[in-house]
């Protein structure tokens, strides 16, 4: 294990709060927390900062869509992100909201002034392609098919006068720092990716926005009231204001620099822009960047647009926080993308946590209670016991090395392997037989097992803190530190507490049967008509081929009176997906094309402004992990779907495709059918 300083500082990324948190946010917090808890076990003074990136243009747009102010939106959503941090067990020392002037603004403004003093900020007129989702400008060659590579949306062309940072000045310095691991990027593949980007030639980048375009929302540029700081300059500054920069220099110097745990989608900002700004201001660059991958669902990146967002609150409330943490760390590579499903969570709980850790702890403590009056028996180790203990100490060293290298999945898997070996030790020594023939030897085995359970509790704390704390509670001792591993610190005669089951057998959660039929019953998504023709057997029907998520389907719809086949090819439409396939006059329809019908009988195809595959949601709703069941047409028609003043509603709430309201062009008021 490498020698470590007395302080350790790390951060999560600072989350956008334009929408609710998803499982990807929870995953990053679990990784960061595991690292923090490991360093706490080492006895270090750990500071962990997380928070909310609130001064972005996307937050302004999200607030406008909801008809509230950005301040209201950020206050509401930041509270939800903080709730997630608490529920997932993130051991943070500060939660910083970037829109709160008193706790943040001094830092980024001071940083700006230092960069300006160093001659690295200048003002010029600029035209560029801007993605609001990324809060970033792109060069045209960076946009496959003209779309943002991250959000698959067309950036808008922006022209205005802004301040720029001389990023090009720091190209060689950044390259040297990263090559020599003075700014260490983990894994190596991400390091090479950043170096490749730097070597293509760094261009100066815009670091402000006009007050008018930012709608006055954000941190003001010092001495220029017409400009707001670019959100990434402002948000990245949270990493230093959170530990006192601009407020408490002594605290700042105590902790900075540190480790940033981030997703691969924002690596450029953290590995290039951020260290360059720090260099300009005369500050140390971060020590390390741990860059994790995305969580996918059925092979696809989680996205509200695709409708496969997994709600971490649902998972924690349905199962438990440690069961979720275990699945995330042990199943998903720390450095690459990984797939998640509830079924995997359940299988790993039942076959690994319950069968391995839970079984070992419970049968060890129950055996002591039943055969030694709940007191740890006298332990006189033989050579076999000593060999077992020494092998375990070697495992501790390996686990420490993996944690030092931030290989969290590998480290946790080694802990589980150690638990399996301890179960094997239990089986091979068979204390249930020894108690009848050689009680002294049975006592020695249980003494060794008790202290090994204690060691496992220490090792589990970074990953499964609640489970670890419960094991210590059942052992009736205070939680111990990393230095206590391998010590036979639980002595003869110590009284354990009442043994309890650590894990229960899980089954896939079933949806509660609803007495009321609601919009939640519907699976509606955006489709695109690729071809259309007249129904061969019915003059009022058209047959459409429609591109949807996962492929192409065929629909039959009664719109021939209002549309010619050629008129609708290429149109985006709303498709009800969870209705059984049916043959209409001999032609199969695999869903229902939804239209707006006025009181006078006119019909309009609803043309949503969203990507194919986008799931339709209610404003303010949260998408669950499970799919909707098939419904009948009767159930669909019982749900009130309507258009009022050209806006689509269900159950009195606005219908959204992604973040966009669903609107009609011609029919002002009508029903959706």
SS (H, E, C) 608-648: CCCCCCCEEEECCCCCCCCCCCCCCHHHHHHCCEEEECCEE
Residues with catalytic function: 22, 25, 131, 134, 148, 151, 301, 304
Q: Please report the pLDDT score of residue 142 as a whole number.
A: 66
Please tell me the distance from the alpha carbon of residue 185 to that of residue 530, in angstroms, as a whole number.
Answer: 45
Q: Is residue 409 within 8 Å of residue 332, measured between CB atoms?
A: yes
What is the structure's pLDDT at 139? 66
Residue by residue, DSSP assigns 487-555 as ---S-TTPBP-----S-----PPPPPPPSS--GGG--EEEEEEEEEEE-TT-TT-EEEEEEETTEEEEE
| DSSP structure string for 50-63 | EEEE---HHHHHHH
Distance between CA 512 and CA 518 in Å, rounded?
Answer: 13
The Cα angle at residue 347 between residues 345 and 353, in degrees rounded to 5: 85
Q: What domains, with CATH codes, occur in the chain?
A: 7-169+203-318 (3.40.50.620), 341-484 (1.10.730.10), 519-672 (2.40.50.140)
- Residue 128's SS3 state is strand
Give residues with Cβ within 8 angstroms of 88, minimum separation 6.
26, 29, 30, 33, 312, 316, 321, 324, 325
Is residue 557 within 8 A of residue 635, CB to CB? The reply is no
| Average pLDDT, consecutive stretches of 10 residues, N- to C-terminus, the chain (673 residues) | 72 92 96 99 98 90 84 93 97 96 94 98 83 63 66 71 96 98 98 97 93 90 93 93 96 98 96 98 98 81 62 93 98 93 93 97 98 93 91 97 98 98 97 96 96 98 98 98 96 96 86 60 91 90 89 91 92 91 85 91 91 85 54 81 92 87 93 91
Q: Are 201 and 64 in contact (CB under 8 A)?
A: no
Query: Which pLDDT does position 134 carry in this prediction?
Result: 59
Tokens read off for 465: 């803190």
pTM of the model: 0.75
Place of tokens 């991958």: 293
pLDDT given at position 581? 82
pLDDT at 1: 46
Contact 584, 624 (CB under 8 A): no
Beta-carbon count within 10 A of 50 CB:
28
Could you tell me which of 527, 601, 516, 589 has the C-alpha nearest to residue 556? 589
Kindly report the backbone phi and psi dihedral angles of residue 461, in degrees, each rounded to the nearest multiple of 5, phi listed first.
Answer: -60, -40
SS3 579: coil
DSSP secondary structure code for residue 601 in this structure = S
- Would you state the pLDDT for residue 107? 95
Contacts of 563 (CB under 8 A, 6+ apart): 542, 605
CA distance 186 to 52: 24
Q: According to the model, what pLDDT value does residue 531 have?
A: 94
The whole-number pLDDT of residue 269 equals 95
């Amino acid at each position: 294990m490498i020698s470590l300083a007395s302080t350790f500082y790390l951060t999560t990324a600072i989350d956008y709060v334009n929408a609710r948190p998803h499982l990807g946010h929870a995953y990053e917090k679990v990784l960061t927390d595991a690292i923090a808890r490991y360093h706490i076990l080492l006895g270090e003074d750990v500071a962990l900062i997380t928070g909310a990136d609130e001064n972005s243009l996307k937050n302004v747009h999200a607030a406008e869509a909801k008809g509230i102010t950005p301040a209201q939106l950020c206050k509401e959503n930041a509270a939800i992100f903080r709730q997630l941090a608490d529920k997932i067990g993130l051991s943070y020392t500060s939660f910083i909201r970037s829109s709160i002037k008193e706790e943040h603004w001094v830092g980024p403004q001071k940083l700006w002034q230092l960069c300006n003093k160093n001659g690295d900020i200048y003002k010029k007129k600029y035209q560029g392609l801007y993605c609001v989702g990324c809060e970033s400008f792109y060069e045209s060659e960076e946009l496959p098919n003209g779309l943002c590579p991250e959000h698959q949306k067309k950036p808008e062309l922006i022209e205005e006068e802004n301040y720029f940072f001389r990023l090009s000045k720091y190209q060689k310095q950044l390259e040297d720092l990263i090559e020599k691991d003075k700014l260490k990027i983990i894994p190596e593949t991400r390091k090479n990716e950043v170096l490749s980007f730097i070597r293509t030639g760094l261009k100066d980048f815009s670091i402000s926005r006009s007050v008018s375009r930012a709608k006055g929302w954000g941190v003001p540029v010092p001495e220029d009231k017409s400009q707001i700081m670019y959100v990434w300059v402002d948000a990245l500054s949270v990493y230093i204001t959170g530990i006192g920069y601009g407020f408490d220099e002594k605290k700042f110097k105590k902790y900075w620099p540190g480790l940033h745990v981030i997703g691969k989608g924002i690596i450029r900002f953290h590995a290039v822009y951020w260290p360059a700004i720090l260099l300009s201001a005369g500050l140390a660059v971060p020590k390390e960047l741990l860059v994790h991958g995305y969580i996918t669902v059925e092979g696809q990146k989680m996205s509200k647009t695709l409708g496969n967002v997994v709600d971490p609150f649902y998972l924690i409330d349905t199962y438990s926080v440690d069961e979720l943490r275990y699945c995330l760390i042990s199943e998903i590579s720390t450095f690459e993308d990984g797939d998640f499903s509830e079924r995997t969570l359940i299988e790993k709980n039942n076959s690994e946590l319950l069968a391995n850790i839970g079984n070992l702890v419970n049968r060890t403590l129950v055996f002591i209670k039943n055969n030694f009056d709940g007191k740890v028996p006298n332990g006189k180790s033989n050579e076999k016991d000593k060999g077992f203990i020494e092998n375990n100490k070697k495992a501790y060293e390996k686990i420490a090395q993996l944690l030092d290298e931030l290989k969290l999945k590998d480290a946790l898997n080694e802990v589980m392997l150690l638990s399996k070996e301890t179960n094997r030790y239990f089986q091979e020594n068979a204390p249930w037989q020894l108690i009848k023939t050689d009680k002294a030897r049975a006592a020695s085995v249980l003494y060794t097992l008790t202290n090994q359970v204690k060691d496992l509790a220490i090792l589990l704390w970074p990953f499964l803190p609640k489970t670890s704390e419960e094991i210590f509670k059942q052992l009736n001792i205070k939680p111990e530190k990393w230095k206590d591993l391998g010590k036979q610190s639980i002595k003869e005669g110590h009284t354990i507490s009442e043994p309890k089951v650590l894990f229960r057998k899980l089954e896939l959660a079933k949806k509660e049967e609803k007495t009321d039929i609601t919009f939640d019953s519907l699976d509606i998504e955006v489709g695109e008509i690729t071809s259309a023709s007249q129904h061969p057997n019915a003059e009022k029907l058209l047959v459409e081929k429609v591109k949807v998520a996962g492929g192409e389907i065929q629909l039959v719809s009664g719109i021939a009176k209002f549309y010619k086949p050629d008129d609708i090819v290429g149109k985006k439409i709303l498709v009800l997906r969870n209705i059984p396939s049916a043959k209409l006059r001999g032609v199969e329809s695999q869903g229902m094309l939804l239209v707006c019908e006025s009181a006078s009988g006119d019909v309009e195809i609803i043309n949503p402004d969203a990507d194919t595959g986008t799931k339709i949601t209610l404003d303010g709703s949260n998408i669950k992990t499970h799919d909707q069941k098939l419904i009948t047409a009767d159930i669909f028609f019982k749900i009130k779907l309507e258009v009022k003043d050209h806006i689509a509603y269900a159950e009195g709430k606005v219908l959204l495709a992604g973040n966009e309201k669903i609107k009609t062009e011609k029919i002002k008021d009508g029903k959706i059918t």
